[in-house]
Structure 1
Amino acid sequence: MTECEEKVPYRIAWISGAALLLSACAAGPDYRAPQAAALGVPAAYSQASPQGGTPPVSDADLASWWTRLNDPALSSLIDSAIANNLDIVQAQARLRQARESLRQANASFLPQVNGSATGGRNYSSQDAGGRLDSSGNPIGGGSSNWSSSYSARANASWQIDLFGELSRSAEAARADLAASGYDLANVRMTIIGELVTNYVQARLAQEQLRVARETQTVQKDNYDIANWRLQAGLASSLDEQQAKAQLAQTNASIPQLEASLRGSLNRIAVLTGQAPGEATRALETPAPIPTAAADVATGIPADTLRQRPDVRSAERALAAATARIGVAQAQLYPSLGINGNIGTTSNSFKELFELITGGIFGNVSQVIFDGGRLRSQVRSQKAATDAAFAAYKQSVLGALEDVENGMASLDSARRRKVEFATVFDASNNAAILARSQYQAGMIDFQTLSTSETTLLNARNSLASAQSDEILAIAQLYNALGGGWQTMEARPDEQ
């Protein structure tokens, strides 16, 4: 080994060490997550929690919040949706894409090595005519020669991350991966909320159908009584026609309720990744509207920065945009690369590796003039980062709005449920009295019709208020970011 050859490994080590030291000075700003004050997050919500005070919200409270509704059928449907929903499948595929993008970015730190090899036989002839006989010999004299040649070669290149272009690219890819994970969590959270909504609407339609059919039976009896009184000369045809109209009105409401029920069941089937029809056959058996087992702890507004996956996705998008400023700025500075090659050539395959040649070179390049393109890219990326910050802040404020609206809806539904329960009790008593008094001929049919219409409306309103309470709870848990905390691979653990 020559003196020069002995120095090559030391030169490589020196260049590599210097490159690593320089790469620590990455171009562009270092990302710092914005504080709650910069995002306009208040210290407390504008209205009191539904249960008073501001109890903290834990991941355990949010993870499987629908189990608090004590409905095994609903819990089973949600498990099926998490496993089979096609929107979730698409989000999982996008997450895998982002993971591969990070692997590609990390691969840029390593040398790139390419190899090639050739082999063949060459022919040469000294005959001017170049004509050969059937045996391959020149016609009319001359000589021919066949020779073999073999070669093998490997080329390597390594871009040194002098000013952090590669490290900032990898930083952006890591942020994009986390954002994709939070996007998956948000899709999962949204699907759960939509499934709960359609399930509750299906049970509400079944309850309203039950009320309509019971009312239909009562009104059919009223019509028969009015018709009998007309035949007996105890009442005019006005009573009979009013009873007939009232019964027809109730009959007309049933197909609409059945269509509403079918629409909810069909949506549930699709949300669980199945075709409408057989998938929800078991749900066609009527069941009561779910009831809430506990109040909802809302915590403080700053919790949304941690709990909401869409907010965290927006924050990671801001981190990625900030890192790409460094990528753009690093392109303004010199780039350093190391290239090397090694190869061999021989006329005999057996002697191919007897003589090996190679070299190693360093190269530095710098853009001298590009018409301002690179600096424009830096300004463009800074503008993109400003937009990402605005989007992050908007997602935070939107999350706070959702929580406030959820608390208002839950409070409203609970107060209305209490009042409608009173209305139902009073209307039921009034209808019972009116029916007995009409049968006794003490009141006219209009009074009976009014009392029974009031009862029908009260029963439907009470059922709607009960479903609105559950829907408000689902809305509030969705606003708080519940339903993704038990994901197998959480974005913050990747």
Structure 2
Amino acid sequence: MKRRHPWLACAAACLCACTTVGPDYRVPDHAAVRAAAANGPLQGAKAPGVAIAPVPDDWWRLYDNARLDRLVEQALAANTDIRAASANLRRAVALLHEVESENLPQGGASASVSRAQLSGESFLQTTKPPVFNLGDFGFGVSYLIDFFGKLARADEAALAGAEASAATLDMVRVTVAAQTVRAYVQGCAATHELAAATQQLAVQQRTLDATGRLVDAGRGEPADVARERARTEALHSTLPTLEAARSAARHRLALLLGKPPAALPEAEVDCHAEPTLRVPLPVGDGAALLRRRPDIRQAERELAAATARIGVATADLYPSISIGASAGLTGVLSHLGSGPTARWSVGPLLSWSLPTNGVRHRIHRHEAAADAALARFDGAVLRALQETETALSAYTRELERHDALHAAREQAAEAARLQRRLQQAGRIPYLAHLDAERTLADAEAALAASEGHVAARQVDLFLALGGGWQAGGKVAAINATGNEKND
């Protein structure tokens, strides 16, 4: 049987022999994320106050504080940074769909009508042709055979870019959740420290009054009054700073919630003591940390995208092969539809630009970009470990300091109790009793400040651990159709 269209067989052979140029992506063996030391236990995981347990998705619920839970939920739903990151993710998904559409047949249609006079010379005639009403109607379709995998690599790069955007959104959720808890804790700590400072000031005012009475009675020196008044004013000067810190925390909360400051009443975020964990702080291990941190996932996906772009550039070294077909009517307008005006064509098209237009340099540029992406990936891994170990050390050391200050406060309270009994029995002067009360007030103020530091170090550690994005609502996951689904 005679073969009438041999080019069809050639096209079929090309389809069967399609290959994909450029490097296939995999995480390099020498990447920091594969190091055994990076995947082992955290150095401070055995310290008191922490536990080698999985970090919960909604870690802020460990505080068992309904108001704090509500604030975090509101922030994750309305924060402006999350809205911007969500929009960037939608843009990345749209780009993915745009790139995927290049794998589909491309078609188009055209129509034109004109009144024209053709050139006689163009037909090697000396007479002037008449004026015609001309028409042209047609449609065409073409399909690019991805013989060398350029479109496949472009799809890989676009998909990795969309997944990197999803990881960026997750990182923003982590940050917003942590910053919301931090702002709430800072407001509570400022209120707590303000109460302790007010108590210090009250004890100091009593000391100043007692010293003044002694001087008036001729049993003291005026310098004693000046010294106590200086202490009183110094304590009084700390109150505005604490009040400003409390207001600033409320204003930060309003920003995180996507509200103007006036729209967040003080009563809605009012608290007088820092929230405390009901269980030891869970930290997990290095392997879980590297899987959980969204910035590491983002850096890894950016490395995958950079690697795929090498293949896109490499494919430009090879010919481009497409199959096309077109049909239409061209001729005098009044004759359109008749046999002589019909036209059609079908066949392959091969185009090839010689690699003298900078293609190899473009490949080298993308190779260098991939090397830089690998360095950023390694840096993200090392930075995650450094931040976590530093935050863990700071938290455990602050716990030790807090325990020492708590013991000091208990001793100061016992001393004040004993001094009160002695003063009531008339065995020591009233100022000696006030001095013990002042020592107790100072110890309580130091303990209040430490409790604020402990809560802040807890938030730092939770932020370094990278938890919170899983429970942040809708987590983008690109499926086969490119739609979003709940993770």
Q: Please indicate the TM-score interval, normalised by the length of the shorter structure.
A: 0.7 to 0.9
Give per-residue Cα distances to partners, 1:5-59, cap 9 Å, x unaligned.
Answer: x956x955x4554343233x200111112454358625222233346997452xx
Tell me the SS of whatever aligns to 2:264.
helix
Residue 18 (structure 1) aligns with: 13
| Distance in structure 2 (CA, Å) of the matches to 1:195 and 1:491 | 25
1:476: Cα distance to partner?
2.0
Partner of 1:308: 293
The yes-or-no answer on 1:114 pairing with 2:114 is no
Supply the AA of the counterpart residue of 2:142.
Answer: S
For residues 244 and 217 of structure 1, what CA distance do their matches in structure 2 show?
Answer: 13
Does 1:261 find its partner at 2:246? yes
Whole-angstrom distance in 2 between the partners of 1:239 and 1:436:
25
The answer for unaligned runs of 5 or more in structure 2 is 119-129
Is contact 1:51-1:296 (8 Å) kept? no
Contact between 1:335 and 1:366, CA under 8 Å: does it hold in 2? yes
Q: Give the Cα separation in 1 of the matches to 2:478 and 2:404.
A: 45
CA positional deviation for 1:488: 1.3
Does residue 1:43 correspond to 2:40, yes or no? yes
The one-character-per-residue Cα deviations of 1:298-341 (angstroms, maximum 9, x if unpaired) are 22212223100000000101111111111111111222122332
How far apart in 2 are the matches of 1:114 and 1:40? 58
- 3-state SS of the aligned residue for 2:103? coil
Aligned equivalents of 1:294, 1:347: Cα separation in 2: 87
- Pairwise CA RMSD of aligned residues? 3.0
SS of equivalent to 2:329: strand
TM value normalised by structure 2:
0.86
Identity %: 30
Q: Could you tell me how far 1:243 is from its partner in structure 2?
A: 2.7
Over 3 Å counting, the alpha-carbon distance change for 1:490 and 1:294 in structure 2 is farther
Kept in 2: contact 1:122–1:147 (CA 8 A): yes
SS for the counterpart of 2:140 is strand
**2:324 aligned residue:** 339
Give the secondary-structure state (helix, strand or coil) at the position aligned to 1:292.
Answer: coil
Contact 2:50-2:281 within 8 A present in 1 as well? no
Deviation of the 1:379 alpha carbon: 1.6
Take 1:115 and 1:40, find their aligned partners in 2: how far apart are those partners? 61
In structure 2, give the amino acid aligned to 1:109.
N
Which residue of 1 is the match for residue 459 of structure 2?
474
Aligned partner (choices 87, 91, 101) of residue 97 of structure 1: 91
- The answer to whether the Cα contact below 8 Å between 1:49 and 1:407 also exists between their aligned partners in 2 is no
Which whole-Å deviations, capped at 9, do the CAs of 1:339-363 have from their partners, x for residues lacking one?
3321113545795376531102322
Structure 2 equivalent of residue 81 of structure 1: 75
Aligned-pair CA distance for 1:95: 0.6
Q: Residues 468 and 18 (structure 1 numbering): CA distance in 2 closer, same or farther, change over 3 Å?
A: farther
CA contact (8 A) 2:167 2:298 kept: yes
Is the Cα–Cα contact under 8 Å of residues 265 and 283 in structure 1 kept in the other structure? Answer: no
2:381 aligned with 1:396: yes
Change (3 A) 1:218 1:471: same
Alpha-carbon separation, structure 2, partners of 1:199 and 1:441: 47
**One-letter code aligned to 1:116:** S
Picking from 356, 379, 400, the partner of 2:364 is: 379
Checking the alignment, whether the CA contact within 8 Å between 1:49 and 1:298 is kept in structure 2 is no
Cα distance in structure 1, aligned partners of 2:331 and 2:467? 69
Alpha-carbon distance, 1:364 to partner: 1.9
Match of 1:134 in 2: none
* 1:318-337 matched pairs, under 5 angstroms: 318-337=303-322
Query: CA contact under 8 A between 2:416 and 2:437: conserved in structure 1?
Result: yes
The ranges of structure 1 where at least 4 consecutive aligned residues each deviate by more than 6 angstroms after the TM superposition are 435-439
State which of 365, 381, 385 in structure 1 corresponds to 2:351.
365
1: CA distance between counterparts of 2:410 and 2:49?
A: 29
Q: What is residue 159 of structure 2 aligned with on the other side?
A: 174
Structure 2 match to 1:69: 63
Say if 2:441 is the partner of 1:456: yes
Q: CA deviation at 1:469?
A: 2.4
1:245-281 superposed Cα distances (whole Å, 9 cap, x missing partner): 2222221111111111111111111111111233142
